């Protein structure tokens, strides 16, 4: 009965120590070295030392030494994991992005002003773009002189379909068709955002896939296909 009553207490202490670790991480953002070597004369350090000492004394006085030692070890591992996760959060985020890029078609891995996209299983490059704030799946098409959207994508991007003028002749997989010229407020892919992009809206039923064409690519500082990767570089 005594052991059952004490266990919840140790969970409370464990969460309290985890909260304290988060507080210390917030106060010491520069590096893991600074995290474990903060100024011992600071008010935060004194408070932390008193709280940790109190938790240790309380734990040792309410449980057997071996049980308290195991609990302290668990706390130490949690604090270490939190510290390492916070210190290397950027590296972990990049690894997660690359894993997503390998399994999610069109997922963009951003590093500064450079965006990397992995080639899909079909051999092309799917691109997950944000057009006027709406998520629009696209396919890279360097043969298209402009960005070309389906009516469904144009509607999602907030374009007024009822006033479009289909005055431009275009070549599609189904032959010649007409498209309406428009100007998109912004297109974002990963960390790259370009504004006021000329585009075309295909007539209903004439286009199955949204095309990322040259009217966007020409705005970039550079772009290239390197093996199975598409690299887009925006201007600083």
Domain ranges across the chain: 2-87, 95-233
Query: Out of 59-68, 129-138, 149-158, 214-223, which region has the weakest mean confidence (pLDDT)?
Result: 59-68
Q: What is the pLDDT of residues 32-87, one digit of tens each?
A: 444 444 444 456 555 666 666 666 666 555 555 556 666 666 766 676 666 655 65
Q: What is the pLDDT of residues 95-118, one digit of tens each?
A: 555 555 455 556 778 888 899 998
- Rounded distance, CA 130 to CA 182, Å? 16
pLDDT band at 171 (very low <50, low <70, confident <90, very high): confident
pLDDT at position 236 is 85
Report CA torsion sign: 191, 196, 198, 204. Answer: positive
Higher pLDDT, 5 or 61: 61
Tell whether the model's pLDDT for residue 221 goes beyond 90. Answer: yes
Mean pLDDT across the chain: 76
pLDDT at position 31 is 43
Q: Taking the complete model, does pTM exceed 0.85, yes or no?
A: no
Strand, coil or helix: what is 114? strand
Query: Out of 63-67, 199-203, 222-226, which region has the weakest mean confidence (pLDDT)?
Result: 63-67
Pick the CATH number of 95-233 from 1.20.120.430, 2.40.70.10, 3.30.70.1350, 3.40.50.2300: 2.40.70.10
Q: What is the 3-state secondary structure (H, E, C) of 78-131?
A: HHHHHHHHHHCHHHHHHHHHHHHHHHCCCCCEEECCEEEEECCCCCCCEEEEEE
Tell whether the model's pLDDT for residue 138 goes beyond 80. Answer: yes
pLDDT at position 22 is 57
Give all strands of the β-sheet with 114-118 in edge-to-edge order.
109-111, 114-118, 229-233, 222-226
């Amino acid at each position: 009965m005594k052991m059952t009553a004490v266990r919840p207490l140790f969970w409370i202490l464990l969460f309290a120590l985890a909260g304290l670790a988060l507080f210390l991480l917030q106060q010491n953002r520069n590096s893991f070295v600074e995290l474990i070597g903060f100024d011992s004369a600071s008010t935060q350090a004194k408070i932390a030392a008193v709280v940790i000492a109190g938790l240790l004394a309380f734990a040792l006085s309410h449980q057997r030494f071996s049980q308290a030692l195991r609990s302290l070890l668990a706390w130490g591992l949690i604090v270490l994991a939190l510290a390492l996760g916070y210190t290397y959060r950027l590296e972990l985020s990049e690894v997660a992005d690359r894993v997503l890029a390998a399994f999610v078609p069109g997922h963009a891995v951003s590093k500064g002003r450079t965006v990397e996209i992995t080639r899909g299983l079909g051999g092309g490059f799917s691109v997950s773009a944000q057009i006027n704030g709406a998520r629009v799946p696209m396919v890279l098409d360097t043969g298209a002189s402009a960005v070309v959207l389906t009516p469904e994508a144009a509607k999602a991007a907030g374009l007024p379909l009822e006033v479009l003028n289909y005055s431009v002749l275009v070549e599609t997989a189904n032959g010649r068709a007409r498209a309406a010229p428009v100007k998109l407020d912004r297109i974002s892919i990963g960390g790259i955002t370009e504004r006021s992009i000329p585009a075309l809206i295909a007539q209903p039923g004439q286009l199955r896939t949204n095309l990322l064409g040259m009217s966007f690519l020409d705005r970039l500082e550079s772009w290239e296909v390197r093996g199975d990767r598409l690299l887009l570089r925006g201007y600083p």
